[in-house]
Structures are given as C-alpha cells and as structure tokens.
Amino acid sequence: MEVWYGAEQVPASLGAPGDAGTVVTIGIFDGVHRGHQAILTRVVERARQMARPDGERPLAVAITFDPHPVLVHRPEARLPMIASLADRLAALSATGLDAVLVVHYTLEFADQSPEEFVRTWLEGLLGARMVVVGDDVRFGRGNSGDAALLEAICRADGLGVEILDDVRSPSGRRWSSTWVRELLEAGDMGGAAEVLGRAHRLRGTVVHGQRRGRELGFPTANLDAASAGVVPPDGVYAGWLVRSPGTIALAGLRAGAPHEERLPAAISIGTNPTFDDVPQRTVEAHVLGRADLDLYGEVVAIELVRLLRPMLAFDSLEPLLVQMRQDVLDTAHVLAVPIPGPIRPEDVTAG
C-alpha cells in the first residue's frame, strides 16, 4: 500500500485521460474498527469490479486526516487517538487498499465548502470515479456536507456514489470509535478487541525508568503513558511487546507481518503504589524470560490482551515479588506460551 503525505505526493497521472482513476472513501478511521473495515472492504471490492477490459482498474484509496479535527477546532480537548498514525496505516493496509492520502488537517483546510472539497480533492487530485462512504459521513465547512449532499454532488458531476448503512454488531449496536473508548476505559480488553477486530495497541518510545525492575529480576521496557494513546485503567495486563521498524510501519506494514517480532509480556500500567517515587503513569512491559533486551530509544507497540488484576500496594518487597512471579505465570497461561524460569538480577544484561 502506498502512503501519500499531502497532495504533493499524489501521482500526477491520477485522473489523466485514459487513467482508470480511483474509488475513494474519506474518514478519520480512528482505531479502524469493524465498521470502518466494512466500508474499506467495499471500496476495495468496487475498485476490482470496475476493472476495464484492458485489465486496468481504479485504485482503492482512503483519505484520512492528521491531527484529529477535534484537536484542531478545540485545542483544549483531551482526545488521545485509539491508534497511532503508524498503527492506523497498518490496519488500513490490511484491508487491501492500494493507497492512503494523509491530509494535514488545518483550519484553512476545514474552511472549504463541501463542493470545493469533493471537486478539488476527490475529483481533481485523485481522479475519483466512485465515492464510497458510510451514511454518517460529514465533510466541508462546519460539517455542512452529509451523505445526501455528497450523493447530489457526485450525481451532478457524473461520479458513482455508494452510501453504506451502519454496520452493526450481533447485539445490534453500531460499531464505533466511541464504543471502543468506552470498553478501553472500563479495562475490557476482550470487548475492545471484538469491536476493533484485533487487540488494542499502545505505541511509544522506550525510555529510562527507575531501573527497579531489573534489580528485582523483572526488567521492563518503559513507555510514557501520556503519549501512548488511549491507556486503559491502572492494573497488570497480559499482552505482547511488538517490535517493528518504524519506517516500515509508517509505510503501512500489515499487523502480524513477518517483519514484526512479537514477544509475550506482563504489562503494568500505573504509578506503582508500592513505591512513592513514580509521579506519573507509566506503561511497563516485562518480556517473559528475557533479560537481554536493550530497547532504549526504540519505538515499540504494546498489545493488551487481558486485564489480570488491579494495581495493588504491598507492605514489603517479598509479597510484591511473589505477586510479580504470579503475574508472569498468569500471562503465560493467557497467551498460551511456555512458562519461563525466574530471572536472577545479576543475569540482566540490558542497558
């Protein structure tokens, strides 16, 4: 999948005479949940159905926005993204899209009329032959464009248009980013994974922490929770630490691809109440059985599979160590991986 960061990276040949053009959808796609996936899959299907006798077909393209429009219109809002841009692109790639255009969202961009947006970006820039969107689509100045207006513009300009009804879960609730956020805030990682179609990921740079874990035989990779994304409640989770080259991820590496190294991990989220020297929330991942990982400065993803227990304060070191060992055993059980032996502090070689 190609990624175009701005209009200047879009091939000039799109929409030229004789070009097959594109089938386009638009959206923020925060989380790329099952509802998004249904729309994106339909875009890919329509592009394939529109293949010409010479074998050429339109490109299946999605337009997405960064930063989130809410953060531009209301800078005071606190709205961490469900998925980082890298993980959003990876999930978009997994749907079979040919390309994604990442538009830098600004107040100037937002001031376009709905007609200007369609004719400048979809028709003029991308050479759209068809537009596929959900029935809740909004676009243009003040979100004044809706599905009915989009259909009218496309019909007037000779573009195909397909408006998809809400895609709903078996329970009847509409798949949505709001639902994902509710589940994450409740610590329901299984429920969030059901809506997303995959485990929830946090992403960030590994930073130096208190170095206490290595001294106890539980070395951890530490991420700043404030910049990691939507972080669920404090507690200990079973999950995975995922390593992948950042440049490949930004180019749309599919989740679970061979380039990714997935390591089973017990993950602690919180301020560690047993000690009083951790002023802010952190995300700490202990990779099971590994004492040699040196991840400082590396961008990693943390996948959260299940909440094991709430964060607890212990009166002394001994019960804490017993509980941390139990966390390792519980993590291995949840992830169905071999149980590692204990790590001696003197065996930790990570920097």
Residue 176: which of 65, 29, 35, 63 has the closest Cα?
A: 35
Residue 199 and residue 303 in contact, taking contact as beta carbons nearer than 8 Å: yes
From residue 223, give the alpha-carbon distance in Å to each of 45, 126, 177, 290.
Answer: 39, 38, 24, 18
The count of other CB atoms within 10 Å of the CB of residue 69 is 18
For 214, the token pair is: 């290595």
Mark whether 284 is an active-site residue: yes
The count of other CB atoms within 10 Å of the CB of residue 261 is 11
Strands 299-309 and 200-205, bridge-based pairing: antiparallel
Per the omega criterion (within 30 degrees of 0), is the bond before 345 cis? Answer: no
Residue 37 and residue 73 in contact, taking contact as beta carbons nearer than 8 Å: no
> What one-character-per-residue DSSP string does 142-174 give?
GG-B-HHHHHHHHHHHT-EEEEEPPPB-TTSPB
Pairwise CA distance, residues 86 & 70, whole Å: 19
Active-site entry in 123, 260, 284, 303: 284
Pairwise CA distance, residues 198 & 213, whole Å: 29
From residue 280, give the alpha-carbon distance in Å to each of 227, 236, 321.
Answer: 12, 16, 22
> What one-character-per-residue DSSP string does 307-327 give?
EEE-----SSHHHHHHHHHHH
Pairwise CA distance, residues 303 & 143, whole Å: 34
List residues with catalytic annotation. 284
